[in-house]
Amino acid sequence: MKLSTLTALFLLGTMFMGCSPKAQTADTAKSGQTSVQANVIVLTSPADFKKQVEGKKVQLVDIRTPQEYNQGHMEGALNYNYYKPSFMQQMSSLDKSKPVYIYCRSGNRTGSAAKKLKRAGFTKVYDLNGGVNNWMRSGFKLMR
């Protein structure tokens, strides 16, 4: 009897897990394990983020405060302060149909910002995993 109950609970849990949306990472997007759909947030490693933005004309946004931005930022990054009430208004000036690349200090703000951008209709948001802290730990530089 115990075995049947455990089996039933396992099957029930598996069924619910199969119905839940899966987070997509850059690795699964490349391998095709999950299909890329509209309104996708992609948590991206520093190396992949660098490949996607460096030397390219993309919508790159540093969502840190101006003080943090002035201490060092990625080349070509706009500075839209996540803590300002005008943050979403500034973000709405970007093209929602094109990918937007966002980063902050540690990744906390971008997690919240990415969800807001998704709800606002942005089709693809690339979130730098671990923010500039992880960027620097990976050996990449910022400009002043």
The helix/strand/coil state of 67 is helix
Selecting among 74, 104, 113, 125, the annotated active-site residue is 104
Q: How far is CA 105 from the centre of its chain?
A: 13
C-alpha span between 104 and 62 (Å, rounded): 6
Is 104 one of the annotated active-site residues of the chain?
A: yes
Contacts of 45 (CB under 8 A, 6+ apart): 26, 129, 138
The helix/strand/coil state of 127 is strand
Structure tokens at 71: 């201490």
Active site residues: 104
